[in-house]
Amino acid sequence: MNWLKTFAVAALAGAVQFAAVSAHAEESLDKIKVSGVIRFGTEGTYAPFTYHDASGALTGFDVEIGRAVAAKLGVKAEFIEGKWDGLIAGLDAGRYDAVVNEVSITEARLAKYDFSAPYIASKPALIVKAGNDKIASFADLKGKKSAQTLSSNFGRLATANGAELLATDGFDQSIALVLAGRADATINDNLSFLDFKKHKPDAPLKVAAVSEDADHSGIIIPKGNPKLLEAIDAALAEIKADGTYLKIAEAYFGEDVSP
């Protein structure tokens, strides 16, 4: 009857492991409530999402979302800054309870971590000079010059639509080439363009088209914390319902950027 003994030991081990995971999940939210603080990992160098303003204070869209979520949980938000390369790994080390840093929800990340409901959506936007009526869709890029970072998804989208690529170092340089007339267009993040227009509303640029393929971001936490995840999701739903989310979005982007 050794098989029966082995089965019983395995079942007991599984039950102990499940109990440990459940206790950890309960303990995670409880610790936050007891301490009165939820610790968020963030870069602090990625405007307009998480950065330092002229006074040196940490601010940004994601930072304000984190603070609003913390308020709904009845605690304060503490931000622990780190470089992107090790930011998510900081969850494994227990440096913080969650990361709020425009982290895209991907299958690879979902295999190891849990995400809140998405709180922001970014889409590829086709940007041209104001008055350019020859480019009204992505298909109109065929034979045109598009300013892009070559290895980006935006660059691949431009190539797929028949554009000739002009290599750039990023958004700012791409925009500069379009403004100078050296490029007919650029495909870039619509959120980055909204931030650009907020600071330079008179720039003679417009969005000719927006792709329906959205990239969603959420608050990321370690797996095994269902109560914390449920609490964060409830807080996000509350700030959308009471207008807090829209107020933050309009402050940074001039419009609603929710999924």
* Same-domain pairing of 225 and 108: yes
For position 26, what pLDDT does the model report? 52
* Same-domain pairing of 100 and 24: yes
* Same-domain pairing of 241 and 116: yes
* Same-domain pairing of 192 and 149: yes
Kindly report which listed range (25-29, 57-61, 211-215) carries the lowest average pLDDT score. Answer: 25-29
Q: 3-class secondary structure for 152-202?
A: CHHHHHHHHCCCEEEECCCHHHHHHHHHCCCCCEEEEEHHHHHHHHHHCCC
Inside any domain, residue 258:
no
* Same-domain pairing of 10 and 109: yes
Q: How far apart are CA 157 and CA 173, in angstroms?
A: 18
Inside any domain, residue 174:
yes
* Same-domain pairing of 190 and 248: no
| Total number of domains constituting the chain | 2
**pLDDT tens-place string over residues 80-108:** 999 988 999 999 999 999 999 999 999 99
Residue 80, classified by CB atoms within 10 Å of its CB into exposed (0-12), middle (13-18) or buried (19+), is middle
* Same-domain pairing of 193 and 208: yes
State which residues form the domain around 242: 2-120+216-253
pTM (predicted TM-score): 0.80
For position 3, what pLDDT does the model report? 42
Inside any domain, residue 259:
no
For position 227, what pLDDT does the model report? 95
**pLDDT tens-place string over residues 105-123:** 999 999 999 999 999 999 9
Confidence check: pLDDT of 168 > 90: yes
Contact between 200 and 254 (Cβ < 8 Å): no
What CATH number does the domain containing 201 carry? 3.40.190.10
Inside any domain, residue 224:
yes
Buried b (16+ CB within 10 A) or exposed e, 212-249: eeebbbbbbbbeebbebbebbbebbebbbeeebbeebb
